[in-house]
Structure 1
Amino acid sequence: MYLFKDLMDYIRDLVANRKLIQKFSINDFKSRYAGSFLGIMWAFIQPTVTIAVYWFVFDIGLKSAPAGGMPFILFLITGIIVWFFFSECLVNGTNCFREYSYLVKKVTFNIKILPTVKIISSLYTHIFFIAFAVVMLLLYSQPISLHFIQILYYLICLIVFLTGLTWVTASLQPFFTDILQFINVGMQVLFWGTPILWDVNIFPANLLWILKLNPLYYIVQGYRESFFGTGWFWEHPVMTAYFWGFSFVLLLVGIAVYRKLRPHFADVL
């Protein structure tokens, strides 16, 4: 029962500290690129170049067929922006306790909000790329339907999933500094195992359930349905139930790991 209590306490902390989290996240976003010539522009330049490279290789070079009935560039953008947000949050969130070790050692500061600060910090760039995807759809004469409003739902899904995941990884990082290396390797596998660059229709139907075990599958497909106006989230009750069940269990695991290791952070940081 204490795990449920901790989860409710965390939600109350978020509400009580919402102004602090907002200010902290903005400062974190700015400080990430402090000292560089182009500053925060790098937050937008690098993902844009990545999109351009994948588009050139797969669409121009390999002559990829339209995916899901859409031009490849639109299919690519609407999926890869989820990956940009996920990967940035996971890496930065995992390292947050070490990065802000001076706060970890302050008894009065609620460090449980630090992974959330990293998520909100990455959200600013993500919102820009959601708008960028909308502009690209309009340039290709693709209408924005009412389905687009559920982007907010899938964004909440992604944030909840990342919150549980970063609680686990951030709590382990002070004790296992190699965890970031494992994450980087794992993300390479996860990237190609998520339908970002390829259409799920090319995958054997009898094996598709394996891909659906990946929570990012639900979110990437949901983003595309929102942008392209091809479906609502309640039309996938099994996948929706699985995702929220998985995410809820992950939150409880994250809380348990954090609760177990929190008293020892100051000793190893």
Structure 2
Amino acid sequence: MLKELCLFFKDIYQNRKLLVQFSLNDFKSRYAGSMFGIIWAFVNPLVMVCTYSFVFSHLKAAPAQGFPFVLYLITGIVPWFFFSDVLSTATGVFREYSYLVKKVVFNIRILPTAKLLSNLYTHFFFLAVAFVLSIAYGFFPTLQTLQLIYYLFCLAMFLTGLTWITASIQPFFSDISQLIGVVMQALMWTVPVLWSPEIFASSPWIVKILKLNPLYYVISGYRDSFLSQGWFWQHWAQTVYFWVITIALLLVGSLIFKKLKPHFSDVL
């Protein structure tokens, strides 16, 4: 499994130019049939942010650790949008590009990564929005802000392992895409995007359980980076736990892909 994992990263490096071009084409083609094109990639999440911000801040449904709620919301929802978009689009990538799957000469192992890169363009846009909003509220970038690079890498590695598994299973079990959609609706409420851990002050064991979700580490890390609330090594136990889970996903995902790849052409 470790050998397969090393070969994957070698393939990524060797095909880096192809990946960038492929991801650009994928991003453009996603909205090619609509009048406003790629604008929709930014409008939908912005509307969601504005809606959540209005409802929760005005109704005071959730505390925000002393920060303006809109700032607390956007610094947590930006990584969530990226995770959600990559998982939903990369899961069906082998079926979407079945004509490439059937080509022996094309290295289909890079397709989930191409979807990840494709979603980076909107992710960078929302990172910029979060930066502007943070500065507007008086939270200027510091050295701790550079940790965003680390947490983005964490999220990319976690998604790589996860999408290897879901994308490899999808050709044989197409309902997994719908299942993921249902799970995502519930999963969003288990990470600190719309709520703050302080609402569980009387039941700290709930937070300990919620922290078992690796996304908790990444979303909290994004927010800490934007608001300069500490360094990632201060949460060493969570860091170790996250990377154990992520490496396990990468190894298992690599194995599942290797086992199922020879049968893709038969079912697509």
TM-score of the aligned structures, taking structure 1 as reference length: 0.97
Matched with 1:196 is 193
Matched with 1:107 is 104
Question: Residue 64 of structure 1 contacts residue 72 of structure 1 at CA under 8 Å; is this kept in 2?
Answer: no
Q: CA RMSD in A?
A: 0.9
Identical positions, percent: 57
1:103-145 Cα shifts (integer Å, max 9, x gaps): 0000010000000000000011001101100000111222222
Query: 1:65-214 to 2 correspondence within 5 Å?
Result: 66-203=63-200, 204-214=203-213
Question: Residue 96 of structure 1 contacts residue 170 of structure 1 at CA under 8 Å; is this kept in 2?
Answer: yes
CA distance in 2, matches of 1:227, 1:85: 16
Superposition deviation, residue 14 in structure 1 = 0.4
Superposition deviation, residue 76 in structure 1 = 0.3
Matched with 1:246 is 245
Unmatched segments (≥5 aa) in structure 1: none
1:72-109 Cα shifts (integer Å, max 9, x gaps): 00000000111110000001000100000000000010
Question: Residue 5 of structure 2 contacts residue 254 of structure 2 at CA under 8 Å; is this kept in 1?
Answer: yes
CA distance in 2, matches of 1:40, 1:65: 33
In the alignment of these two chains, the number of paired residues is 266
Unmatched segments (≥5 aa) in structure 2: none
Question: Residue 23 of structure 2 contacts residue 117 of structure 2 at CA under 8 Å; is this kept in 1?
Answer: yes
Matched with 1:56 is 54
1:130-181 Cα shifts (integer Å, max 9, x gaps): 1100000111222222210000000000000000000000000000010011
Q: Secondary structure at the match of 1:141?
A: coil
Superposition deviation, residue 206 in structure 1 = 2.2
Which amino acid is the alignment partner of residue 136 of structure 2? Answer: L
Which amino acid is the alignment partner of residue 267 of structure 1? Answer: D
Superposition deviation, residue 52 in structure 1 = 0.5
Superposition deviation, residue 56 in structure 1 = 1.1
CA distance in 1, matches of 2:8, 2:166: 17
Which amino acid is the alignment partner of residue 8 of structure 1? Answer: C
Superposition deviation, residue 66 in structure 1 = 5.0
